[in-house]
Amino acid sequence: MPDIGQLREEYINDGLSREQLNASPIEQFRAWFSQAQKAELPEPNAMTLATVDSEGQPWQRIVLLKAYDEKGFVFYTNYESSKSKEIEGNSQVSLHFPWIALSRQVAITGKAEKVSTTESLRYFVSRPFGSRLGAWVSQQSKVISSRNVLEMKLQELKAKFKDGEVPLPSFWGGYRVDPETMEFWQGGANRLHDRFLYKKQIDGDWEIARLSP
């Protein structure tokens, strides 16, 4: 087994130039996201969400990106989970997409805000029956005595909602992260990687800076 200190990949690709960049980071994200899909990366919409708690302690976990546009990046979760409590206390969050097989990463910072109930409902009804039940079953982030608690609750809910009509739980829904900065990182040969940081200006325009790798 090689020493992990010696594990390194040489990134051989065309790099990223300023001319290739879209003036809009959302459009740039769209291009990269579609390339990640074409490359058949596993779960390209899996992103790490970082939040900070009331003591300044950062926490991270993966959530799935379910929609994005100029208004922001949307994920769904339990509104009583640890992450949601952290967002209620401090809405500044960070998202990170690790598209390692393409020698790429995208890092986003911004403010998270709940989406409307209508928007959550629209997404909720599109989920498979099991996922809709799952939202009801889990008191996300709470301590439970055993897995059995979940299995029993699931059976109970299956019986309760056997007609397939599962209502949207009041404690479940989406957050939209309105981006303030977006960094696109492309690995290059000899560790001369390309990094471009988009920063939203007060007038809504995006300023682009090249960062040293």
Ligand X SMILES: Cc1cc2nc3c(=O)[nH]c(=O)nc-3n(C[C@H](O)[C@H](O)[C@H](O)COP(=O)(O)O)c2cc1C
Asked if 141 touches ligand X (CB under 6 A), the answer is: yes
Q: Does residue 96 bind ligand X (CB under 6 A)?
A: no
Asked if 200 is part of the footprint of ligand X (rule: CB under 6 A), the reply reads: no
User: Residue 182's CB: how many other CB atoms inside 10 A?
Assistant: 24
- Say how far apart CA 30 and CA 169 lie, in whole Å: 31
C-beta of 21 vs 87, nearer to ligand X: 87
Task: Report the nearest approach of ligand X to the CB of residue 153 (Å).
Answer: 17
Task: Work out which of 31, 39, 46, 100 binds ligand X, going by CB under 6 A.
Answer: 46
Alpha-carbon distances of 79 from 18, 63, 66, 84, rounded to whole Å: 40, 14, 16, 5
Question: Which span (81-89, 123-131, 190-198, 200-208) binds ligand X, by CB under 6 A?
Answer: 81-89
List all residues 6 or more positions away from 62 whose beta carbon is below 8 Å from its beta carbon.
46, 47, 48, 49
Residue 186 near ligand X by CB under 6 A: no
Question: Which tokens sit at 82?
Answer: 């640890």
Distance from C-alpha of 106 to C-alpha of 17, rounded to nearest angstrom: 16
Residue 191 annotated among the catalytic residues of the structure: yes
Residue (95 or 166) nearer to ligand X, CB: 95
What is the total residue count of the chain?
Answer: 213
Q: What is the DSSP string of 99-117?
A: EGGGTEEEEEEEEEEEPPH
Any contact of residue 59 with ligand X (CB under 6 A)? Answer: yes
Q: Which of 28, 33, 68, 77 lies at the binding interface for ligand X (CB under 6 A)?
A: 77
Binding site for ligand X (CB under 6 A): 43, 46, 59, 61-64, 75-78, 81-83, 140-141
The residues assigned a catalytic role are 191
